Structure 1
Amino acid sequence: MASKYIALPKGISEQTFDAAVRDFSRVLGDESVLTAPERLAPYIKTMMPVPDSEHTLSAALMATTVEQIQKILAICNKYKIPIWTISTGKNLGYGSAAPAERGQVVLDLKRMNRILEVDKDLAYALVEPGVTYQQLYDYIKERNLGLWLSVPAPSAIAGPTGNTLDRGVGYTPYGEHFLFACGMEVVLANGDVLRTGMGSLPNSNTWQVFKWGYGPYLDGIFTQSNYGIVTKFGFWLMPAPSAYRPFVIRYQNEEDIEEIVEIMRPLRINGVIPNAVVIAHALYEAPVIARRSDYVTGPGSISDVAVRKLVKDHNLGIWNVYAALYGTEEQIALNWKIVTQAFGKSGRGQILTQQDVGDDPAFAYRAALMRGDMNLQEFSLYNWRGGGGSMWFAPVSQARGSETLKQMSLTKQILAKHGLDYSGEFIVGMRDMHHIVDVLYDKTDPAQEKAAYQCFDELLTVFSAQGYGTYRVNSAFMDKVASTYGPVQRQVHKTLKKALDPNGILAPGKSGIR
């Protein structure tokens, strides 16, 4: 007999779920408890190479207050219903809005979208989880507050809470987002409300200015975890500088990545270049200005010869290094001299500013990101091959040229083995580099879907065996990545889970934690 629900939570009967849905409706109202297939469709589609049925939800709940969330968790504990929380649901390439396991209920917090405070003098914000970067950007601009955001590539539709909790990054000097987080409100599985840091002190007025509070620092355990539901999130904003100079340095050989990193590392460590620098491969840049079909016919990955032609046709570098200088005109003039001297010694790189490149769309896109402007241009990546398949492969590298070249070469080799292209970039921290590769494939083609799954699995296996950890991954591969970090860490995660969520109702499977 067919169920009236498109899926049911694991081990939960339809009769039990009926009772839970009735209780949810009493808390939220019928219109905020979604069970009809057509209303659940936006939560189901993923870009991962697995059947969407494996990540089909049973219902979606649209909460708007902390009190509602507390009541929802009481119901989940009563019936042992697993619940998967999303903020804006735009975690594209990492699982989107779908739950990690079939049948979980999605708790959608996008209606909790109040901007609670923005302090101009102390440069911080306090927001609810449904607030988007676009919403906060508009708020700041309308009030002429003189503050900049740091945003990920899909800036306008994503939000600071979800992005930071999954340890996302941006491209300004505040690009390591969790580093600039300050104070969370968290609803625990038992309904208790925890305010981290200084927020636990009654009448505190320093919640968003001092991160640590007293005793063990707890904020970190609520990132990439399932230990609580963050309902308020504080973070620091960057005062708008009086001057800003974005630039790009184009290199024409893949081996040049060694020189780029060796020059860049001391400039980043010493703060000469203060922002999160991007070293983008030509195929990461290409979708903004070119089509894959113009350079590739038939199966297999794009050839080096075709990449060379693409670079020549569109005046790209094989590597395109995007960075910026911030501050006063005097500061920028001094640091610009240091940068140009450092990168000009070998004569390999071509250093270009806004004035040099004119209306180049690739440069305009990167310049916007490095000043925290709203931009969705990175989604052009999905048009490169077409078919709606995308997974972000995200291993970490030391900021050493040799390590970077090794990672790029190894990634290209594995992708080519499975007929896929290398669309990658390195985001340069001070001592580390995030190696971000979009594994693009046609999800409508079963052969490509199979190849993409095998390719991604091999990438994770090979890289972890060589000591390269993945810092973020889609929900289909969370267990595999968690296992690469060893049994002791997994046991600690499990112990925390059991203590904070004894019934295991919060997002089972998130980051491999159950």
Structure 2
Amino acid sequence: MASKYITLPKGISEEVFDAAVKDFRRVLGEASVLTNAEQIAPYTKIMMSVPESNHTPSAAIIAQSVEQIQEILAICNKYKVPIWPISTGKNLGYGSAAPAERGQVVLDLKRMNRILEVDPDLCFALVEPGVTYKQLYDYIHEHNYPLWLSVPASSAIAGPIGNTLDRGVGYTPYGEHFLFACGMEVVLPNGEVLRTGMGSIPKSSTWQVFKWGYGPYLDGIFTQSNYGIVTKLGFWLMPAPPVYKPFAIQYEREDDIVEIVETIRPLRIGNVIPNAVVIAHALYDAPVKAKRSDYVTGPGAITDEAVQRIMKDHKLGAWNVYAALYGTLEQIEVNWKIVTESFGKSGKAKILTEKEANGDPAFEYRAALMRGDMNLTEFRLYNWRGGGGSMWFAPVSQARGSESLKQMAMAKRILGKYGLDYSGEFIVGMRDMHHVIDVLYDRTDPDQMKAGHDCFNELLRTFAAEGYAVYRVNTAFMDTVAHTYGPVQRQVHQTLKKALDPNGIIAPGKSGIR
């Protein structure tokens, strides 16, 4: 007999699930428990190279308070029903809102969207999971607070809690988002509420200003994990600088990446350039200005000759460096002299300020991100090839030119083998680089689906064999990545899971942890 549900949680009968859904409705109300196909559709859309059916939820439930979450967890423990918590669900290219495993119940926290505090003097915010960057941005501007956000490329539609918990990054000096997090409220699987750091002290006035508290530091175990549900997060905001000077530097050859990184590294470590520098390949910037179909048709990766034509037609370098200076006019004048002298030594660099860029759309959207403004321009990447397929491949490397050249060559070779384009950028931290590559393919084409899947799998395994692990991955490949980190780390993760969540009800499979 056909089930009334699209699918059921693994190992749960329809009779048991009926009882759980009835209890969910008692706690949340009829309208906040979604079970039919039309209601669940927004939670099934993925961009990964696997069938949507692999990640179809059995239901979606929408909570509005900590107390409701506590009651939901009690129900889940009673019936052994697994839930997949999301905040805004805009995890594009990493899994979107869909659960890691078929049949899990999506716990949607979008209605928990209160901005609890913004302190303009100590420069911090405290928010709930459903708060978006756009909501917080508007709040700051409405109150005329001299504060800047650090946002990921998805800015307006994403939220600080979801992005920080997945250890996402932004483009201001506060761009390493978890580094600037300070204090969490977490509902544990047994329903208890933990406030990390100084938040465990009654009437604490230092929860959002001192990270460590007393004893072992716990915040990290609730990032990229399934040990609890974060319901509040504090994080530091950047004081608006008196002067902001964005700039771009273009290089004409791919092997110039060595010089670029060797020049940037001492400037970043020395804090001359204080923000996360982006080194974008021509094909990463091209979708802002061009269409792939204007330069190449048919199967196979785009040719080097076509890339050269795109560069010429749209005034792009093979590599396009985006960075900024922040501070007083005097500080910027001193640091700008250091920057221009450093990049000017070889004569290869073409340096552009806002004046020389003169409204260039690629420059403008990067300049917006580097000051924390709302911007979705980067997602024009999804129109480059079309077809809705996107998986972010994100290995980390040392900030060395030789490392970046090696990684680019490896990625281009593997992508080309499967007929896919290299759309990559390096985001330079202090001593590390996030090498972010968007593996783009057509989900409507079975051959490209297979190519995308096989390509991503080979990228993961080949890079891991060379000592390059990824720091974040989509839900279809979480087990694969977890294996690359070895058995000892996996055992520690699993030990923590069993201790905190013995019934395995929160997000089984997240980061390969069950």
> For residues 234 and 351 of structure 1, what CA distance do their matches in structure 2 show?
38
2:78 corresponds to 1:78: yes
1:143 maps to 143
CA distance in 1, matches of 2:400, 2:153: 25
Q: Distance in 2 between matches of 1:422 and 1:455?
A: 12
Q: Mark the runs of 5 or more structure 1 residues left unpaired by the alignment.
A: none
After the TM superposition, which residues 337-376 of structure 1 pair with which residues of structure 2 at under 5 Å, given as runs?
337-376=337-376
TM-score w.r.t. length of structure 2? 1.00
Are residues 1:154 and 2:145 paired?
A: no
1:206 alignment partner in structure 2 = 206
Tell me the alpha carbon deviations over residues 31-56 of structure 1, each in whole angstroms, 9 at most, x when there is no partner.
00000110100000100000000000
Work out the CA distance in 1 between the residues paired with 2:19 and 2:292: 52
Residue in structure 1 matched with residue 175 of structure 2 by the alignment: 175
| Partner AA of 1:98 in structure 2 | A
Q: Which residue of structure 2 lines up, in the alignment, with residue 501 of structure 1?
A: 501
For 1:240 and 1:140, locate their aligned partners in 2 and report how far apart those are by CA, in whole Å.
Answer: 11
Following superposition, the deviation at residue 98 of structure 1 comes to 0.1
- Alignment partner of 1:264 is 2:259: no
Q: Classify the secondary structure of the residue corresponding to 2:231.
A: strand
In structure 2, the partner of 1:244 is: 244
**What is the CA–CA distance in structure 2 between the aligned matches of 1:49 and 1:254, rounded to whole Å?**
29
Q: Displacement of 1:340 after TM fit? A: 0.1
Aligned to 2:294: 294
Which residue of the partner structure matches residue 3 of structure 2?
3
Q: Offset of 1:161 from its aligned partner?
A: 0.1
Q: CA deviation at 1:437?
A: 0.1
Q: How does 1:478-497 map to 2 (within 5 A)?
A: 478-497=478-497
Q: CA RMSD in A?
A: 0.3
Q: What is the match of residue 215 of structure 2? A: 215
Quote the Cα distance in structure 1 between the aligned partners of 2:362 and 2:247.
12
* 2:414 counterpart SS class: helix
Aligned to 2:389: 389
- Name the structure 1 match of 2:192: 192
Q: 5 Å matches for 1:251-330? A: 251-330=251-330
- TM-fit CA distance, 1:222: 0.1
TM (normalized to structure 1)? 1.00
Q: What one-letter code is carried by the residue in structure 2 that aligns with 1:100?
A: A
Any unmatched runs of 5+ in structure 2? none
Question: For residue 458 of structure 1, what is the aligned residue in structure 2?
Answer: 458
**Shift of the alpha carbon at 1:387?**
0.1
Per the TM alignment, residue 336 of structure 1 is displaced from its structure 2 partner at its CA by 0.1
AA partner of residue 44 (structure 2):
I
CA separation in 2, counterparts of 1:79 and 1:170? 40
Q: 2:445 and 2:155 mapped to 1: Cα distance?
A: 30
- What whole-Å deviation, never above 9, does each CA across 1:110-160 have from its counterpart, x for those lacking one? 000000000000000000000000000000001000100000001000000
How far apart, CA to CA, are the structure 2 residues paired with 1:460 and 1:152?
A: 23
Secondary structure at 1:307 match in 2: helix
Distance 2:269 2:234 in 1: 26
Shift of 1:94: 0.1
Count of aligned pairs: 514
Secondary structure of residue in 1 paired with 2:144: coil
- Distance across 1 between alignment mates of 2:42 and 2:83: 17
CA deviation profile, 1:299-328 (whole Å, cap 9, x unmatched):
000000000000000000010000000000
Q: Deviations over 1:203-247 (max 9, x none)?
A: 100000000000000000000000000000000000000000000
Which position in structure 1 is the counterpart of 2:88? 88
1: CA distance, partners of 2:357 / 2:77: 58
The residue type equivalent to 2:128 in the other structure is: E
| Residue type at the aligned position of 1:5 | Y
Counterpart of 1:100 in structure 2 is 100
Q: 2:87 and 2:462 mapped to 1: Cα distance?
A: 33
Q: Which amino acid letter does the alignment assign opposite residue 109 of structure 2?
A: L
Distance in 1, Cα, partners of 2:2 & 2:427: 49
Q: Distance in 1 between matches of 2:507 and 2:469?
A: 23
Q: What is the CA distance between 1:297 and its match in structure 2?
A: 1.4
Instruction: Give the distance between the partners of 1:357 and 1:47, measured in 2 at CA.
Output: 34
Structure 2: distance between partners of 1:231 and 1:495: 24
| Alpha-carbon distance in 1 for matches of 2:81, 2:188 | 15
Once residues 2 and 149 of structure 1 are traced to their aligned partners in structure 2, the CA distance between those partners, rounded to angstroms, is 50
CA distance in structure 1 between the partners assigned to 2:116 and 2:64 by the alignment: 14
Residue 59 of structure 1 deviates from its aligned partner by 0.6
* Distance apart, 1:414 and its partner CA: 0.1
Aligned to 1:425: 425
Secondary structure of the residue that 1:31 maps to in structure 2?
A: helix
1:165 is matched by which residue type in structure 2?
Answer: L
SS in 1 for 2:198: helix
Q: Which amino acid aligns with 2:422?
A: Y
SS of 2:107's equivalent in the other structure is strand
Question: For 1:228-243, what aligned pairs fall within 5 Å after superposition?
Answer: 228-243=228-243
- Aligned-pair distance for 1:168? 0.2
The one-letter amino acid of 2:318's match is I
**SS of residue matched to 1:385:** coil
Whole-Å separation in 2 of the counterparts to 1:297 and 1:88 = 36
Cα distance in 1 for partners of 2:324, 2:2 equals 58
Which structure 1 residue ranges, 4+ long, deviate > 4 Å from structure 2? none
Q: Distance in 2 between matches of 1:170 and 1:199?
A: 26
In 2, the alpha carbon distance for the partners of 1:471 and 1:379 equals: 21
CA distance in 2, matches of 1:2, 1:406: 53
Question: Secondary structure, in 3 states, of the residue corresponding to 2:189?
Answer: coil
| AA of the residue aligned to 2:412 | K
* 1:425-484: CA deviation from partner (whole Å, max 9, x where unpaired): 000001000000000000000000000000000000000000001100000000000000
What are the Cα deviations for residues 143-196 of structure 1, in whole angstroms up to 9, with x where unaligned? 000100000001000000000000000000000000000000000000000000
**In 1: Cα distance, 2:315 partner to 2:504 partner:** 54
Partner SS, residue 21 of structure 1: helix
Structure 1 residue identity aligned to 2:319: W
Percent same amino acid among aligned pairs? Answer: 79
Task: Name the aligned partner's letter for residue 356 of structure 2.
Answer: D
Letter in 1 for 2:232: K
* 2-structure distance, mates of 1:127, 1:45: 27
CA shift, 1:289, in A, is 0.5
Q: Find the residue that maps to 2:155 and give its secondary structure.
A: coil
Task: Please report how far the alpha carbon of residue 95 of structure 1 lies from its aligned counterpart in structure 2 after TM superposition.
Answer: 0.2
Q: Which residue in the other structure is 1:122 paired with?
A: 122
**Equivalent position amino acid for 2:413 in 1:** Q
